[in-house]
Amino acid sequence: MAGEETHKGRDGGGVATAEESLSVTDNRTGQTYEMEITDGTVRAMDFRAIKVSEDDFGLMTYDPAFKNTASTRSEVTYIDGDAGILEYRGYSIEQLSEHSTYLEVAYLLIYGELPTKQQYERWEHDITHHTYVHENIKKSMEAFRYDAHPMGMLLATVGALSTFYPGSNNINDEHEQCMAAVRLIAKMPTLAAFAYRHNLGLPYIYPDNDLNYPENFLSMLFKMAEWKYEPDDRLARALDVLFILHADHEQNASTNAVRGVGSTQVDPYSAIAAGVSALYGPLHGGANEQVLRMLDRIGSTDNIPDFLEGVKNREERLMGFGHRVYKNYDPRARIIKRHVDQVLDVTGKSPKLEIAVELEKRALDDEFFTERKLYPNVDYYSGLIYEALGMPTAMFTVIFAIPRTSGWVAQWLELVGDDEQAIARPRQVYSGYREREYVSIDER
């Protein structure tokens, strides 16, 4: 060990073994510190012991946008971004999208295990019987401007739910936790559909308990004067698969928002409203909306080379490409791509699909994208399905929020039960002025 003195890291915890430790020499003092490596990580707090003097605050780690910081331990979702692997509770996304339903996946995410038949029936019954919302929620949605963005309506209304369920403030009460999970998963499609109908000036459609989760959502979106809405099985299944694919994605921006806000011990509705807000952003859930706008702008396959030049010159961004974690083809994009054709078989061809396929092909042949490991992400093709289903682009992110709710709830539950967590409050490196003299307004 180099240096004068060796300090033990991890809050005075166990001494690190030579193989599972990191030796850091502070060249300012010549001292060497040993830090334990666990699961490929060192603890940022261990750096605090590295000081130049007794009254020094100690070293911090600087990581804007959390590019290399693990904020939690989690057992919910596993991603290997280089290999293109996504698993919920250990089950591959390929198997789940092939054999499962969204509601079963939601149960898996929240409870950690696939349900037995009896548990599933109970779960489905509970979700189905909590799809209605208080009439005042409906009235408050009616008060939005006729052209309000449905995502803005959704995020405000999810936040408002907390006022209808004040008991949810008891965040450690198991019954309240279960009720919040059921209510949020059950009501999200209702709120999403109300926001959609509001935009069109159509009456809101109440849930139909005879239909399953995706069928009921389609009914609330599209039912008109008919006595009973009869959804096409293929469209309902495609929607259910999209729900499965979007259910969770470990510590993505919106989940981080839910956890960050949830760490204040606020009720789950308010925490999940923060997730909806984060999802609204064009670099996150808003990307699928942007993909369709981009394909519209490109207009024809002839214009693809010019568009790609613009991307390379940094005048444009190829929306639906690239991912913080995946440096390979996003496995969800591969599954969605297969379903695009099935949906278009029912709804008719889309000229945008031709542009999307050609654009993907050219980008994947281009060094600019291959060097940076930029591949299609989940949003590249999902917008095409939503559009084929008759959804306006403004609804795309809203539909994303429906299944992501189960992931947010699962992650929030994990946060609440995690003794290592505390209020999420990062540090800063202050780079502004200090100790300035106030100058009166006449003298400035």
By CB under 6 A, residue 321 contacts ligand ACO: yes
374 is an interface residue for ligand ACO by CB under 6 A = yes
User: Is 323 a catalytic site residue?
Assistant: yes
Smallest gap from Cβ 318 to ligand ACO, in A, equals 4
Burial (0-12, 13-18, 19+ Cβ within 10 Å), 14: exposed
3 state DSSP class of 74: coil
What distance in Å separates the CA atoms of residue 94 and residue 130, rounded to the nearest whole number?
30
Candidates 93, 378, 389, 398: give the one binding ligand ACO (CB under 6 A).
Answer: 378
> Any contact of residue 352 with ligand ACO (CB under 6 A)?
no
Please tell me the count of residues contacting ligand ACO according to CB under 6 A: 18
Least CB distance to ligand ACO at residue 371 (A): 9
Who contacts 433 (Cβ-Cβ below 8 Å, separation ≥6)? Answer: none
Q: Which residue has the tokens 């010019």?
A: 306
376 - beta bridge partners? 321
* Minimal distance, residue 269 CB to ligand ACO, in Å: 23
**Which ranges of 149-203 does DSSP label H, i.e. alpha helix?**
150-164, 174-200
Question: Are 393 and 387 a contacting pair, CB within 8 Å?
Answer: yes
Out of 138, 324, 327, 362, the only residue in the binding site for ligand ACO (CB under 6 A) is 324
Residue 377 main-chain phi, psi, to 5 deg: -105, 180
Question: 220 to each of 32, 56, 193, 214, 215, how far by Cα in Å?
Answer: 64, 61, 6, 10, 9
Q: Alpha-carbon distance 96 to 78, whole Å?
A: 14
CB 58 within 8 A of CB 29: no
In the bound state with ligand ACO, the residue whose beta carbon lies nearer, of 186 and 278, is: 278
Q: Is 334 in the site for ligand ACO (CB under 6 A)?
A: no
Query: Looking at beta carbons, which residue is closest to ligand ACO?
Result: 322
Known catalytic residue at 7: no
Among 83, 372, 390, 417, binds ligand ACO (CB under 6 A): 372
Candidates 7-15, 68-76, 320-328, 341-349: pick the segment binding ligand ACO (CB under 6 A): 320-328
Q: Does 377 bind ligand ACO (CB under 6 A)?
A: yes
Interface mask (CB under 6 A) for ligand ACO, residues 242-281, using x and -? ----------------------------------------
Does residue number 317 form part of the binding site for ligand ACO (CB under 6 A)? yes
Binding residues for ligand ACO restricted to 379-408, rule: CB under 6 A: 379
| Binding flag, residue 284, ligand ACO (CB under 6 A) | yes
246 is catalytic: no
Q: How far is the CB of 193 from ligand ACO (least distance, A)?
A: 22
- ∠ CA 248-236-337 to the nearest 5 degrees? 60
Q: Under a CB-based contact definition with an 8 Å cutoff, are residues 46 and 7 in contact?
A: no
The answer to whether 367 touches 157, Cβ cutoff 8 Å, is: no
Nearer to ligand ACO, 245 or 261 (CB): 245
Q: Is there a contact between 391 and 239 (Cβ–Cβ < 8 Å)?
A: no
Please identify every residue annotated as catalytic.
284, 323, 379
Q: Which residues bind ligand ACO (CB under 6 A)?
A: 283-285, 287, 311, 317-324, 372, 374, 377-379
